[in-house]
């Protein structure tokens, strides 16, 4: 949250109407710190007040207008000057005039479209925020409040397993299998590696989760690879016919959903990298993309009705079985 302007005679604050009931989510800032922000979903209304507190109650505040904006923007770190705003809503709160005493202005942005998930990466940032501006002749007073947006999906209709035979002719043939191709962020990767031919001396085998952030277009495409996890699945030398199981819990790692070509500006994709290392430190690897998606949590009793609707707005296909968002739980723990 930034606070611009010098020699303030007024304190500006943005407060949400449902601040007590709305959940907060942790989100990493650009410098790696983790902070909590109010969590919103696509379609939810953003309503609250902009409160002005005069520092000196006797001094009047002259201004050229007071407004509040809801902004969703993409910021490429190598091009900081240009913010790409994909959502921009504005509400005028006051016409040019004077503020003689501390007061609050109500605002409401109804059913705001928030098509993308908040993301802070290595070379790009996508953020949503409210910005209250008191326009003045010399310098404006600006107050920003960041929020975090999550995009939810439902269980995909088609989620085939990944099964492939790879290797080096006459040296190493393996068949690897992962139980799904699309995993939610708290899912478990269950799989196996089957050795068909082993003519090299393998020392150990691991699975890495790699995040690839792609920014730029055309000739200026830039990929930033980051190894999120390294997980050893085998220690020792296997022989033909051996099957090594894989069980990797994703909840332990900092992951985001797969993001494809967001507003044509960036992508975030995830890959599983299976790596075998032989006794001379030579590495043999096979990379395979997996799609990550965010599953909606079970709706709590206190969650607003609007948020319940919002969490039903899914990307992709219709859910299997009954509706994904269950009603409130009764005391006995059964669904009503």
Partner 1 sequence: MSDTAVADTRRLNSKPQDLTDAYGPPSNFLEIDIFNPQTVGVGRARFTTYEVRMRTNLPIFKLKESCVRRRYSDFEWLKNELERDSKIVVPPLPGKALKRQLPFRGDEGIFEESFIEERRQGLEQFINKIAGHPLAQNERCLHMFLQEEAIDRNYVPGKVHALASHCVSGCAAAKLPVVSLPST
Please count the other Cβ atoms lying within 10 Å of the Cβ belonging to residue 148.
21
Using CA atoms, how far apart are residues 239 and 327, in angstroms rounded to an integer? 52
The token pair at 266 is 């960036």
Of the residues 25, 71, 142, 188, which one makes contact with partner 1 according to CB under 8 A: 188
Count other Cβ atoms within 10 Å, centred on residue 49: 18
Q: Which stretch binds partner 1 (CB under 8 A): 62-70, 76-84, 92-100, 314-322?
A: 314-322
Adjacent-strand bridge partners of 25: 37
Return all residues near 73 (Cβ < 8 A) that are at least 6 apart: 83, 84, 85, 86, 87, 126, 127, 128
Q: What is the DSSP string of 180-201?
A: -SEEETT-EEEEEEEEEEE-S-
Using the rule CB under 8 A, is 286 a contact of partner 1? yes
In the complex, minimum distance from the CB of residue 149 to partner 1, in angstroms, rounded to a whole number: 23
> What binding mask, one character per residue, do residues 138-177 give for partner 1 by CB under 8 A, x or -?
--------------------------xxxxxxxxxx---x
Among 83, 111, 240, 300, binds partner 1 (CB under 8 A): 240
Considering only 3, 77, 253, 285, the residue that binds partner 1 (CB under 8 A) is 285
CA 96 and chain centroid, separation:
39
Q: Per-residue x/- mask for partner 1, residues 34 to 63, rule CB under 8 A?
A: ------------------------------
Least distance between partner 1 and beta carbon 51 (Å): 40
- 201 near partner 1, judged by CB under 8 A: yes
Separation in Å, CA 20 to CA 23, 305, 336: 8, 15, 26
34: how many CB neighbours lie within 10 A of its CB? Answer: 9
| Cβ distance to partner 1 smaller for residue 1 or 171 | 171
Which one of 179, 214, 273, 311 is in contact with partner 1 (CB under 8 A)? 179
* Residues in contact with partner 1 by the rule CB under 8 A: 164-173, 177, 179, 186-188, 190-192, 194, 196-201, 237, 239-243, 245, 247, 278-286, 298, 320-322, 324, 326, 335
């Amino acid at each position: 949250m930034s606070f611009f302007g010098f020699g303030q005679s007024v304190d500006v604050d943005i407060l949400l109407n449902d601040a007590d009931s709305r959940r907060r989510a942790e989100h990493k800032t650009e410098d790696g710190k983790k902070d909590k922000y109010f969590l919103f979903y696509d379609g939810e209304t953003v309503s609250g007040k902009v409160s002005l507190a005069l520092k000196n109650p006797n001094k009047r505040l002259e201004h050229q207008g007071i407004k509040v904006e809801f902004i969703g923007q993409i910021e490429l770190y190598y091009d900081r000057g240009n913010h790409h705003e994909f959502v921009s809503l504005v509400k005028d709160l006051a016409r040019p005039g004077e503020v003689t005493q501390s007061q609050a202005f109500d605002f409401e942005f109804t059913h705001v479209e928030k098509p993308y998930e908040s993301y802070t990466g290595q070379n790009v940032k996508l953020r949503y925020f409210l910005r209250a501006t008191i326009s003045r002749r010399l310098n404006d007073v600006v107050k920003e409040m960041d929020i975090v947006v999550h995009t939810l999906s439902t269980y995909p209709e088609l989620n085939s397993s990944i099964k492939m035979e790879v290797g080096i002719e006459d040296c190493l043939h393996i068949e690897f299998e992962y139980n799904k191709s699309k995993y939610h962020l708290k899912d478990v990767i269950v799989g196996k590696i089957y050795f068909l031919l082993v003519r090299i001396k393998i020392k150990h085998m691991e699975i890495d989760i790699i995040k690839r952030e792609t920014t730029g277009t055309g000739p200026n495409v830039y990929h930033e690879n980051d190894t999120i996890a390294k997980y050893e699945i085998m220690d020792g030398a296997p022989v033909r016919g051996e099957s090594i199981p894989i069980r990797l819990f994703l909840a332990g790692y900092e992951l985001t959903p797969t993001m494809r070509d967001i507003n044509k500006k960036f992508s975030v994709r995830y890959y599983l990298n299976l790596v075998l290392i032989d006794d001379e430190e030579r590495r043999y690897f096979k990379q395979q993309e997996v799609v990550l998606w965010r599953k909606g949590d079970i709706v709590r009793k206190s969650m607003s009705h609007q948020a319940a609707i919002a969490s039903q707005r899914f990307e992709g296909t219709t859910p299997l079985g009954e509706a994904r968002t269950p009603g409130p739980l009764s005391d006995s723990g059964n669904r009503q």
